[in-house]
A = this chain, B = another copy of it.
């Protein structure tokens, strides 16, 4: 278990080149660390919440229980992602969270987030950029559900997950560790577990990709991107979007 903020800092730095000072401000935000085993719920009071969490290690599923009793998985959180930030800062309704693997989370109080945001607006914009980017990706994949074929949907989802993991330095361009069961994938993609199984077999038999023993491996990345109609534009980012203004940027 790696219990540090290195993943989230890597992610934030892909937006804005944070200074050492800003990174240390960020690292001092959490008040305590919590470790939970797989299957546990992360207790979060929703609309009236007074805290949020940073996922430091492990994977989480965020979901919504619908009035008919079904569970829609909205997204998976990976190290570096915030949990519960939306209800604090975005004033929208919140989701429930379940640990998929053993996880370590850092608790941050609303008060602490707000005072840090007031003191360090560059840090605030990096955190909000990350939140907005994640939401935008969720929009993409929700649009996919029910509109694209099962194979396209699955390929798109697994490609996107690879990009997100790359951003925090996990995995390579062709391969990454993935603890998601076929049941979880099914709930996220609006398919049955049997259907997911069949789709993964098809992808394997076409020599496009394999998902076995907790490893996703892209055997033919180019063809897979083509099949999934995946926009590769955001693959090619190799420097922060916003540079430091300590030099001679702007005018």
Contact = CB atoms under 8 A, between A and B. Distances in A.
Interface string A14-54: 01100000000000000000000000000000111000000
Chain A's interface: helix, strand, loop or mixed, by majority? helix
A133 B128 CA distance: 10
A118 to B, nearest CB: 4
Contact of A249 (B118, B241, B250): B118
Interface stretch (A90-98, A173-181, A196-204, A206-214): A90-98
Given A115-B251, A251-B115, A233 B48 contact: yes
Contacts of A152: 67
* Copies of this chain per assembly: 2
Contact of A72 (B143, B241, B250): B143
Nearest to A149: B67
Contacts of A67: 148, 152, 229
A226 interface: no
A141 to B, nearest CB: 9
Contacts of A192: none
A87 interface: yes
B233 A119 contact: no
Interface in A89-123: 89-93, 114-119, 121-122
A138 interface: yes
B93 A147 contact: no
Interface string A139-167: 11011011110001000000000000000
Nearest to A49: B233
